[in-house]
Amino acid sequence: MKRDPLVSILVHTRNSQRTIREHLESIKSQSYRNIEIIIVDNNSTDKTIEIEKEFASNIYNFGPERSAQRNFAAKKAKGSYFLVPDSDMILGKNVISQCVSLILKNSNIKAIVIPEKSFGKGFWTKCKILERNFNLGVDWIEGARFFDRKTFEKMGGYDEENTGTEDFDLPQRIIKKYGKKSVGRIKEFIFHDEGKIFLVRQLRKKFYYAQKLGIYKRNNLAYYKIQTNIFRRYSLFFSDPKKLIENLTVGVGLFLMKTLEFAAGGLGYLKGKYFN
């Protein structure tokens, strides 16, 4: 095993001009230097490709969704390890170095969770930021984004029928095969640029992705039952009541947003099950 193995960053984009520059700058600024960037776009019509060409030469076009883009990027990659962020994420400077250090120290680890913090503008974005603060360290919510290549390939990569819950699906399949200790966690953060969240747009997104929830349920029933339990979700918010009380308006907004998201997700699930 090389001391500084090559890490492939699998970037997927679609009309990502708002965030892609900062995303790629954060990759280029990593303290760990032995990396390559593989970008797979999906027919962007804005300036995404133009910006990407400033940072990388390995740029491809493929679709139709994120899972397929990621798997295509993995086939083009040369690295021993894969990092799979979203294009609206900014990596902390030591994300890759901490992931490599951890996985080289422990041969049992096949995938690594990188904790996330959100930022952005607007009331509903504040609600999302508060929600993510409660999710930190919760193993049935956080999903791994760093993978050992051999394990990734053995698992068949991302399920291309599954869009919306693929970030949970792959790590959970790894845990099923190799056990809970096969997924590690680092301390460095990824910062998720939420932009300005509009509630109606957020609910439409939940409805759309939930149409594939039946596939996730079939493959990960135990996790599905926990993650879709609204009372289990709400109990997280009361695990630290001080966070809710400090900004009561945002706390109330968080409960309203999550309730509406559950409703939109439920309708999407029913549509996918009975009408698709």
**Is residue 198 a part of any domain in this protein?**
yes
**Is residue 178 a part of any domain in this protein?**
yes
Give the H/E segment covering residue 170.
Answer: helix 166-178
Query: What is the CATH number for 112?
Result: 3.90.550.10
**Is residue 208 a part of any domain in this protein?**
yes
Domain span holding position 181:
7-274
- pLDDT, average across residues 80-94: 98
Give the whole-angstrom CA distance, residue 166 versus residue 158: 6
| Count of beta carbons in the 10 Å neighbourhood of residue 183 | 23
CB-based contact 134:243 (threshold 8 Å): yes
Q: How confident is the model at residue 2 (pLDDT cuts 50, 70, 90)?
A: low
**Is residue 99 a part of any domain in this protein?**
yes
**Is residue 161 a part of any domain in this protein?**
yes
Q: How many domains does the chain have?
A: 1
**Is residue 257 a part of any domain in this protein?**
yes
pLDDT in tens, 108-166: 999 999 999 999 999 999 999 999 999 999 988 899 999 999 999 999 999 998 888 89
Would you say residue 3 has pLDDT above 80? no
Dihedral angle computed from the Cα positions of residues 198, 254, 112 and 15, in that order, rounded to the nearest 10 degrees: 0
pLDDT in tens, 39-76: 999 999 999 999 999 999 999 999 999 999 999 999 99
Note the pTM of the prediction, 2 decimals.
0.93
SS3 sequence of 34-76: CEEEEEEECCCCCCHHHHHCCCCCCEEECCCCHHHHHHHHHHH
**Is residue 2 a part of any domain in this protein?**
no
CB-based contact 139:133 (threshold 8 Å): no
The one-letter amino acid at 238: F
What pLDDT was estimated at residue 192? 97
**Is residue 1 a part of any domain in this protein?**
no
Give the whole-angstrom CA distance, residue 276 versus residue 188: 41
Give the whole-angstrom CA distance, residue 117 versus residue 21: 19
Would you say residue 238 has pLDDT above 80? yes
